[in-house]
């Protein structure tokens, strides 16, 4: 096992990459808090973990609430006694347009992609310090590394997360708190379909969310979108002790898209 007796949190863990990560971490010996807005989805993942012999709790709520974003740390420590890692995976695609932007949608994207993870991080740091160190992981996307004509506002948020990783990694390295980001390219998940078919994204005539998902995947050098489990594998490495000398990294897991 690669995470024996570790205790962690995964946000947006009810489906897609977050779900894959929660399941993988539990198989590797971690006790996992499964956080999701959808209570049914979070409880479903917990049942899968428990059916496989693992330990997990479901925490459901809106992470744009500062109180809830902090409470997931407190509730995890209450349930399992400590905290070793957090995968701040929650995110929002936001509007695709600048001209005529819906500023409420912009605010939601910035809150979910940036503010919520800062609030959770603030709550997590004392618990990681009490443990003698730990791992903070963020989902930054390739949109945190390169520009996207389809998602400039998403770029703002995810470039910010990469900057946060760089700053926090230096600030907390001496306390043995490692800080990294995983940067997926297109991943075959429900969220990718939401992403490509946003109301203001103006789908080309004859295209559907499904055809665009496959087209996006076909544009990367490997010729396909990633599977959620492939992102979870990278996340597992970054939070595990195998990455004990890795901090401040924004790791592309993108089939060669940013090569």
Tokens at 30, concatenated? 């971690």
Catalytic residue among 138, 154, 172, 245: 154
154 catalytic residue (yes or no): yes
Question: What angle do the packed helices 152-172 and 116-130 form, to 10 degrees?
Answer: 20
φ, ψ at 252 (rounded to 5°):
-70, 135
The closest alpha carbon to 19, from 49, 59, 63, belongs to 49
Distance from C-alpha of 221 to C-alpha of 68, rounded to nearest angstrom: 40
Catalytic residues: 154
């Amino acid at each position: 096992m690669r995470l024996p007796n570790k205790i962690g949190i995964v946000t947006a863990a009810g489906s897609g990459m977050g779900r894959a990560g929660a399941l993988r971490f539990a198989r590797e010996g971690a006790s996992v808090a499964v956080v999701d807005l959808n209570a049914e989805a979070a409880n479903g993942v917990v049942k899968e973990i428990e059916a496989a012999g693992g330990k997990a709790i479901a925490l459901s709520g809106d992470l744009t609430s500062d109180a809830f974003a902090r409470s997931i740390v407190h509730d995890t420590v209450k349930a399992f006694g400590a905290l070793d890692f957090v995968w701040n995976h929650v995110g929002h695609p936001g509007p695709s347009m600048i001209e005529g932007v819906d500023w409420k949608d912009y605010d939601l994207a910035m809150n979910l992609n940036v503010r919520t993870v800062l609030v959770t991080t603030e709550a997590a740091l004392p618990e990681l310090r009490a443990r003698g160190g730990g791992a903070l992981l963020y989902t930054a996307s390739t949109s945190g590394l390169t520009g996207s004509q389809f998602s400039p506002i998403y770029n703002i948020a995810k470039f910010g997360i990469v900057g946060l990783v760089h700053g926090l990694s230096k600030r907390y390295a001496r306390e043995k708190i490692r800080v990294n980001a995983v940067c997926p390219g297109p991943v075959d998940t429900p969220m990718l379909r939401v992403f490509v078919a946003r109301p203001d994204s103006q789908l080309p005539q004859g295209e559907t969310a499904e055809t665009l998902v496959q087209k996006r995947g076909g544009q990367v050098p490997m010729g396909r979108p990633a599977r959620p489990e492939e992102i979870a594998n990278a996340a597992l490495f970054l939070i595990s002790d195998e990455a004990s000398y890795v901090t401040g990294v924004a790791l592309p897991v993108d089939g060669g898209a940013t090569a």
